[in-house]
Structure 1
Amino acid sequence: MMELRVLQVVTIMNRGGLETMLMNYYRRLRHVGIQFDFIVHRQEEGHYDKEIKRLGGRIFHMPSIRPGNYQKYFKQLDTFFAEHAYYRIVHAHLNENSSFVMRAAYDAGVPCRIAHSHLSDLHIDFKWPFRKYARLCMKEYPNYYFACSERAGEWLFTSSSKNKVIVLPNAVNVSQYLYHLPERKRIRRELGVDDSFVIGHIGRFNYQKNHDFIIDIFQSISDKRKDAVLILAGDGDLMPQIKKKVHKLGLEQQVKFLGVREDIPSLLQSLDVFLFPSHFEGLPVVLIEAQAAGLSCLVSDTITAEVNLTNRVTFVSLSRKASEWADKLLQLDNQHKDTSTELKVAGYDIETTSQWLSTFYNEYNDTKHHASGTR
């Protein structure tokens, strides 16, 4: 059987939840003859670019998708597919903007066109009318509709498409996150939090992740527990603003900004509780990782209840005061629990989902799908 090349379409291959999950699939599927190539929409190098090239993948750069360059972008996509007519599978992870890629792939006769929803809502801004239009176009061009959760599928796809949605769990390597006391002691010593009550958050510093409210919650917690420490992993445009707020509140000694980390399984070992009050999400990979590490998680009720796989997730409304969030967090069980069986039974072990995705992709590693495509 010849090697099958799958075109993954993303924003940039930095170390986010979606991108890390794609790399976990890539590392496994390349051993069974499935190769990933990537279209990215940033000119700078992504965190995973070197590894992708080392594994044999190719990276194609497109401009950022903006209302002012839609027509130019369409033309570039048409040119791309004309020059790379060998792709049988295009798997787009751009949420509503996937409709542009799906249209170009449809016009090019690509037989397998997957639009994959990873969000359940969006911040309303000046792009909202364009995003709404893009969502309406979604029903025309994909022939497979994937989503990380039922709610994410309902949000992106129209009513005529919803009964066709395939929920592909945001799976993780469960065994990698099992609680290990020596590792917990090592990482806590490294971070200087040996005897502290450690609250953690992992996420990009942007509006979606709600860091401003995280600091408000932690301020209330620190008034009640003097040994409390907040660990923030990630980077983003709002980091300077959040650092300024931490300084203004006099919390510099208790809040640690770690930047982007490559040791997320170890970092989760160091925590006592995970805090995640996002404005909106699909089904966050990091919450699956936190549960795999056996942590109790306090999250906003804007996140789908589907994420609660272990009964270790507590939901609170964003309309509640920061002090109420703090009280709820301090009531949570801060002992790590082995949740591996629950996650595997729920279908969130990447060993299982990799096998499913391999079978799905290989349906198109067959000459009957070759020239004409399926529309």
Structure 2
Amino acid sequence: MNNHSVLFLITGLAYGGAETQLVNLAISLKKRGWKVRVVSMLPPQAFTEELKEAGIPLSTLNMRRGVADPRAVFRMLKILREWKPDIVHSHMVHANLLARVVRIFYKIPVLISTAHNIDEGGRWREVAYRMTDPLADLTTNVSRAAVERYIRVGVAPKNKIRFMPNGIDTTKFKPNKAAGQRLRNELGVDNYFVWLAVGRFEEAKDYPNMLRAFSMIVSKKSDVVLLLVGQGSLMEEVKKLASELKLEDRVRFLGVRRDVPYLMNAADAYVMSSAWEGMPMVLLEAGACGLPVVATDVGGNSEVVLNGKTGFIVPPRNPEALAQAMEKMMALPKEKRMEMGEAGRAYIEANYSLEHVVDQWEGLYMELLQRKGISLSGSL
């Protein structure tokens, strides 16, 4: 019986890739017998029901976005003293830095910091990572490209950083053409070539790039539609741009949806226009659903989308290149697009299935615990 305990600390819980990854990992480890707890620095906005159903306690440090609150350190210390976890596994830059600071005041047996992006927000954060690196046992990142960059700019030394991929539930995200067809009928898009994009309306996702590329396509073809799923601080700006580009009839803003696997089956292809990324969960999800992809060459995108085999990779911030790749995808025979989708599904299953990734995390946890001389019973 596994008596080990892990506490996950994350900046906030919303419907994003890093948050989804943490929740999937927490629930999977709980099923494997680990004692699991989740702490969110900000009040959680998502996943509260999923964690509750799994029997995983969720706490918040009640911080406010953009406000440095020293009381969070004391709240975190209180939780640690009560719960005494073997491992603290923090996710995203603010949580990573907080966990390291807290370790000055409390002896955390094993501390792992996971970064979810190739660039977590400017030079000062990278300097903060470098200065606090001695307080962490290991830093991980979700793409090989990000790990290489972090070593190059001195965020973490080579012997203290590792690539650990995101994992995807390939039983939830899978081809289901019948459900996809029903949704096409429901949305009234059956006679269109359907592009799908799922993601927060924030600067990193560069939706203006996507809309400008899409407007070039619409000027030549009328039987095409773009479905946008998500919300975010720039949503109204993106809607305004769609209006300025006269795309109101061709771009549908669907908001937050809980049926993304079905939407992926309803689409003909997936598009991502990001200016920067880590290892996007949505690309793993699209691949697992058998969707061919057009994506920008940022972060781990080219690790997930095999150019020419499972989709097309294009330079970022280049609407012309994005439009050309989208047109190239649309011009392919349906059978060829389906072949691309099938190759994508096989590649995701082999490299990024959730069980495969949870196995890797469990192995890493045990390796670090043993290195610290912590026995299988969980005691020092």
TM bucket, shorter chain: 0.7 to 0.9
Contact 2:2 2:376 in 1 (8 A): no
Instruction: Give the secondary structure class of the aligned counterpart of 2:271.
Output: strand
Q: Distance in 2 between matches of 1:313 and 1:282?
A: 18
Tell me which residue corresponds to 1:86.
Answer: 84
Tell me which residue corresponds to 2:246.
Answer: 250
Query: Which of the residues 261, 267, 280 maps onto 2:263?
Result: 267
Task: Determine whether 1:5 maps to 2:2.
Answer: no
What is the percent sequence identity of the aligned residues?
Answer: 26
Contact 2:293 2:305 in 1 (8 A): no
Q: Distance in 1 between matches of 2:169 and 2:178?
A: 20
Query: Which of the residues 350, 356, 365 maps onto 2:354?
Result: 350
Instruction: Give the secondary structure class of the aligned counterpart of 1:327.
Output: helix
Amino acid at match of 1:57: I
Gaps of 5+ in 1: none
Amino acid at match of 1:219: S
Contact 1:118 1:282 in 2 (8 A): yes
User: Relative to structure 1, is the Cα distance of residues 119 and 101 closer, same or farther in structure 2, using a 3 angstrom cutoff?
Assistant: same
Q: Tell me how far 1:123 sits from its aligned partner.
A: 4.9
Contact 1:95 1:156 in 2 (8 A): no
Q: Tell me how far 1:74 sits from its aligned partner.
A: 3.7
User: Relative to structure 1, is the Cα distance of residues 38 and 309 closer, same or farther in structure 2, using a 3 angstrom cutoff?
Assistant: farther
Tell me which residue corresponds to 1:287.
Answer: 283
Which stretch of structure 1 is more off in the superposition, 157-166 or 247-256? 157-166
Q: Tell me how far 1:7 sits from its aligned partner.
A: 1.0
User: Relative to structure 1, is the Cα distance of residues 192 and 354 closer, same or farther in structure 2, using a 3 angstrom cutoff?
Assistant: same
Deviations 1:63-97 (A, max 9, x none): 4477762644444434443x335111111111365
Contact 2:2 2:34 in 1 (8 A): no
Contact 1:274 1:297 in 2 (8 A): yes
Contact 1:96 1:138 in 2 (8 A): no
Amino acid at match of 1:62: L
Q: Tell me how far 1:154 sits from its aligned partner.
A: 3.4
Q: Distance in 2 between matches of 1:361 and 1:197?
A: 45
TM-score by length of 2: 0.86
Deviations 1:94-113 (A, max 9, x none): 13651221231354111111
Which stretch of structure 1 is more off in the superposition, 278-287 or 360-369? 360-369
User: Relative to structure 1, is the Cα distance of residues 102 and 370 closer, same or farther in structure 2, using a 3 angstrom cutoff?
Assistant: farther
Contact 1:85 1:108 in 2 (8 A): no
Deviations 1:186-220 (A, max 9, x none): 12112221111111111001001111221111111
How many residue pairs match? The answer is 364
Tell me which residue corresponds to 2:342.
Answer: 338
Q: Distance in 2 between matches of 1:122 and 1:143?
A: 20
Contact 1:10 1:93 in 2 (8 A): yes
Contact 2:210 2:322 in 1 (8 A): no
Tell me which residue corresponds to 1:213.
Answer: 209
Q: Distance in 2 between matches of 1:121 and 1:17?
A: 15
Contact 2:206 2:275 in 1 (8 A): yes
Instruction: Give the secondary structure class of the aligned counterpart of 1:84.
Output: helix
Contact 1:178 1:338 in 2 (8 A): no
Contact 1:97 1:134 in 2 (8 A): no
Deviations 1:210-259 (A, max 9, x none): 11221111111111110110110111111111112222333222111111
Tell me which residue corresponds to 1:18.
Answer: 18
Tell me which residue corresponds to 2:173.
Answer: 177
Which stretch of structure 1 is more off in the superposition, 223-232 or 333-342? 333-342
Which stretch of structure 1 is more off in the superposition, 111-120 or 356-365? 356-365
Matches within 5 A, 1:1-375: 1=1, 3-43=3-43, 45-64=44-63, 69=68, 71-81=70-80, 83-95=81-93, 97-105=95-103, 107-124=105-122, 128-129=123-124, 131-156=125-150, 158=154, 161-304=157-300, 305-309=302-306, 311-320=309-318, 322-332=319-329, 333=332, 335-336=337-338, 337-339=341-343, 340-345=345-350, 347-361=351-365, 364=369, 367=375
Instruction: Give the secondary structure class of the aligned counterpart of 1:179.
Output: coil
Amino acid at match of 1:26: A
Deviations 1:112-154 (A, max 9, x none): 1111121001455xxx53x233222242111122221122223
